Amino acid sequence: MFIWDCVIHACVTSPLFVRTIYTSWLFEHKFIEKFLHFLIRAMPTEILKNYDRKFLTCEIFNSLSLAQINDDNLTLGRYACHLYTEVLKKLPAVVRKWWNILPSRKKSFLDKLTTNFVSPLICDEELKSIYTNKEKHENMQVTVHLSTREVLAVYFVDDVRTELTITLSSNYPLGPVKVDCGKNIGGRLSSRNIIMQLALFLTHQVITYLPYSYLGIQRC
């Protein structure tokens, strides 16, 4: 499991073209599939039995520090939950691709488990990061709505006010990101093209990190 922790880190810290090669190789040779199946089986029994209930705490899925990983008291179940969160945060497109081809029963199980325990942690972390760094985006006003998992960007192009809203799904990053454009973005066709391009970018990016994705919004 620690080796897989290192593999995930190596993918994330590699240049984009190398990262794509790594993740494609891991997926095509079914290493990701075997790894994720093992992680799920290694999770605590209480989580697996109550995957569709929200009354349990999400804390067991919080990321671990290196010192916590080296702690002799760390359990296999806790480390499995940590790694599931890490692979979802850092290699979302790979996990999403695997999840989409699962049999319906397993897909539903993982959807509910992720929605109830992991998605709230990831959404909260990313939206708070956007809120903290919103002043760094030139010519753009960014508003974050944590309760609805929405980010509203308002900016001006040739003195025309333009709005763009990104909404994270309840099972993010398994589910798609919803993108809506305001009407003042250059016509219906242009708006549709921008929505499609940005939605594809957010869906197929190897690493899930919305502040980085906002650079794509500015380029649009």
As given in the structure block, the two tokens for residue 22 are: 């790594």
**How confident is the model at residue 57, as a pLDDT?**
74
**pLDDT mean for each 10 residues of the chain (220 residues):** 93 89 93 95 92 78 93 95 94 92 94 93 87 68 85 72 82 86 55 59 50 37
User: Which CA distances in Å does 109 have to 44, 116, 217?
Assistant: 15, 11, 34
133 phi/psi in degrees, rounded to 5: -105, 15
Which pLDDT belongs to residue 217?
39
Residues in CB range of 97: below 8 A, 6 or more apart: 27
Count of residues for the chain? 220
What pLDDT score does 135 carry? 63
For the chain, the DSSP string reads -HHHHHHHHHHHHS-HHHHHHHHHHHHHTTHHHHHHHHHHHHS-HHHHHTTT-SSS-SGGGSPPPHHHHT-TT--HHHHHHHHHHHHHHHSHHHHHHHHHTS-HHHHHHHHHHIIIIIHHHHHHHHHHHHHHTGGGSTTEEEEEETTTTEEEEEEEETTEEEEEEEE--TTTTSSPPEEEE-STTT-HHHHHHHHHHHHHHHHH-SS--HHHHHHHHHH-
CB distance 130 to 214 below 8 Å: yes
Return the domain boundaries, the chain.
2-120, 130-219
Q: Enter the CATH code of domain 130-219.
A: 3.10.110
Amino acid at 26: L
Strand pairing category for 150-157 and 140-145: antiparallel
Residue 65 identity (one-letter amino acid): S
Distance CA 198, CA 220 (A): 8
Closest residue by Cα to residue 181 from 167, 200, 162, 197: 162
